[in-house]
Amino acid sequence: MNEFFIASKLYRDYSQKEGNQHIASEYNLYHILKYAKDKQVSKVLEIGTGIGTILSLFQEAKKVGFLDLKKYVGTEENSYCLQQIKLNCLPEKEAGFEQIIVEEGDEIQPDKFEFAIVDGKASNLETIVSEFLTENALILIEGYREDQVNRIKMELDKMRWPYAYFMRFSTWRNPDYGPFRQKFQAGHTIFFINPSQKEIELCKKLKTFARLRYNARKVFNFRNWVNK
């Protein structure tokens, strides 16, 4: 079972759920799995769990043997979303890895995460970058949050940690069954801290072909290439 099948099935399922305006895009779900697989991620921190889309994504990936996650920590302050997480996601014992949901970022207990996913307000973003990440971690910011991207860059520069990053706009069109009416799915910005040569080359390649892909998506749905 590959990342497209897992991501697209989960996105379809969550598109039918109450509160689906809080879910991540199919494009981002797919790439989250790709990044996590490439890094063999075992600990994930998510800022803004919403109704549990990404937590369920990791649960399904663990269930089918795609990833071997050990720990997930998420933050969510919305009481409605907290109720939906309990309804939508497997309990810890069934999921097979440690799961912790806290309401505020300052409630996160000290640990080192290999993957941080930001999809909400993060008043303690600088602390997360400086204290809660491994030295070669990934940071993914959903959507196009320029302020958060700049805050992360400033903190990494302050720490003198090398990094490569890229704003990856979506080349996939929204499927008809999804909750979003925009033509294209939401993208993300990805940071590679202390990047490998492979990760540096990936960012260079993405930047080189960004305009070409942006123009091509007007006539071609790149989702069809992945869905083979």
- Per-residue pLDDT tens for 63-97? 999 999 999 999 999 999 999 999 999 999 999 99
Predicted confidence at residue 227, as pLDDT, reads 65
Task: Give the C-alpha separation, 164 to 69, whole Å.
Answer: 25
Predicted confidence at residue 225, as pLDDT, reads 80
- Per-residue pLDDT tens for 101-143? 999 888 999 999 999 999 888 888 999 999 999 999 999 999 8
Predicted confidence at residue 127, as pLDDT, reads 95
Residues 29 and 12 sit within 8 Å (Cβ to Cβ): no
**Per-residue pLDDT at 224 exceeds 90:** no
Residues 192 and 138 sit within 8 Å (Cβ to Cβ): yes
- 111: tokens are 């640990």
Q: Side-chain half-sphere of 54: how many Cα atoms within 13 Å?
A: 31
Mean pLDDT, residues 177-203: 93
Alpha helices in 42-99 (DSSP H): 53-63, 79-88, 92-95
Domain limits, the chain: 3-226
Segment among 51-55, 173-177, 194-198 with least mean pLDDT: 173-177
Task: Give the C-alpha separation, 61 to 55, whole Å.
Answer: 10
Q: What is the mean pLDDT of the chain?
A: 94
What topology is assigned to 3-226 in CATH? Rossmann fold (3.40.50)
**End-to-end alpha carbon distance in the chain:** 13
The residue among 22, 114, 96 whose CA lies nearest residue 58 is 96
